[in-house]
Amino acid sequence: MKSVSPQGCLRGFAVGLLLTSGVLDVLSAGGAGHRVWPVTLVLAVAFTAVLWPAGRRPAWLGPEVRTAVPALLSGLYTAGVRLAGEAAPFGPGEVAALLCLLFIAVRHCPPRRAAGCALLDVTALLVTPLRMSPRVPEDTFGFIAAGLLLVGLVAGLAGHLRSLDYRRAVAVGETRRAERLAIAADLHDFVAHHVTGILVQTQVARLMAAGRPGELDPVLAGIERAATEALASMRRTVGVLRDTGPGGDAVAGHRPAGDLAGVAELADRFPAPGQQAVLDRDPALADAEIPHEVQAAAFRVVQEALTNVGRHAADAVEIHIGLHRAGKGLRVTVVDDGRGGSRLPDAAHGGGFGLVGLTERVTARGGTLHAGPRAEHGWEVRALFPVG
């Protein structure tokens, strides 16, 4: 048997109370000898605007129509009674309905129309006491004061909830923007790495085509592998953008990422002919519980450093990659012996954003990053991540 939530019980109680108060309005009008149909018409329109289920509401029945039409009808009823010099009662049902419509106007109407719709509801509510007598009743101002108090409470609550909705929407927008930027950084890191490898190996293939054509096959195989991996990285990233959750956010866990085990693959696949990449991994890391976010950041440090070697130090012969424990932290180092030689075209050298993004990624995990020339020659990238 399906259980009923407390919210459902509260909603049902509020609807029952509203309908009961409307019935009391109609009964009191009939018992006093007044016409019943005007009161019934006003209440029917107001209750329909308040209680119509959102899932079945037609497109034309927006918050502006829902709040303005019942208020206008109530105001016209009051004006007709005054012009005819008659008297007519007003009851708690109509007051409650107008207060509900005021709440809807303040919270849900578009900003440019919320004030106008709310003013209509407030005016219709405050003039209802004028129906009680052809002359202005003595206690009219007491009714108006009580009405203003209710208006202030309802409008204040609705305005507070609307501000919470706005702040929530801003927070969701900022979260989505940050997620898109992170995905863009992923795409840059992976694809730039593979494309740099393609460029380097293409340059090597051109040099070998003249003198050693028989040795081209391994180089071409490396180009094919790098191109395939670049396409796969782009496919995964676009897949994340298409595979979104209920709120439009990218589903976590499907973004292209790496870990410490993937560093070995980077070291094996990176070297161009004449280069050697050596991985020195601390055996203690095998049993260490390192968070996946830290492993992914360490992987990106190695990936970006190797990409920069291919772009700016194609003459490097040895590249040393180190993964070691440093106290309770993880130290990542990438050192090359290049002297700055590069056969790539100027457009492929990049704009210097790789290290900037890498610094942001490392510091976001509480780590520190150093990148700069070595004392003798070559370049060193060193990152230290806290673990624990």
Residue 257 maps to a domain: no
Domain span at 19? 6-137
Q: Give the domain-ending residue among 137, 167, 197.
A: 137
In a domain, 156, yes or no: no
Does the pTM surpass 0.85? The reply is no
**What is the distance between the alpha carbons of residues 307 and 207, in angstroms, rounded to a whole number?**
21
333 lies in some domain: yes
Does a structural domain hold residue 161? Answer: no
Q: Could you report how far apart the first and last alpha carbons of the chain are, in Å?
A: 46
Separation of alpha carbons 77 and 75, rounded Å: 5
Q: Name residue, tokens 């950041």.
A: 297
Pairing of strands 368-373, 379-386: antiparallel
Which CATH number is 373's domain given? 3.30.565.10
Residue-by-residue pLDDT tens, the chain, 388 positions? 556 677 778 888 888 888 888 888 888 888 777 788 888 899 999 999 998 888 888 888 889 999 999 999 999 998 888 888 888 878 888 899 999 999 999 999 998 899 999 999 999 999 888 887 766 666 677 888 888 899 999 999 999 999 998 898 888 778 777 767 766 666 666 666 666 666 666 766 666 666 666 666 666 666 666 677 667 666 666 665 655 544 444 444 444 567 888 888 888 877 666 778 889 998 888 767 888 888 888 888 888 888 788 777 777 888 899 999 888 889 999 998 887 655 555 544 555 556 777 888 888 888 999 988 887 788 899 999 988 6
Name the token pair of 14: 């509020």
Closest to 316 measured CA to CA, from 276, 354, 346, 369? 276
Domain end point (choices 100, 118, 137): 137
- Residue finishing a domain among 137, 168, 189: 137
Could you tell me if residue 170 is inside a domain? no
In a domain, 146, yes or no: no
Cα–Cα distance for residue pair 326/384, rounded to 1 Å? 8
Specify the number of domains making up the chain.
2
In a domain, 244, yes or no: no
Whether 154 is in a domain gets the answer: no
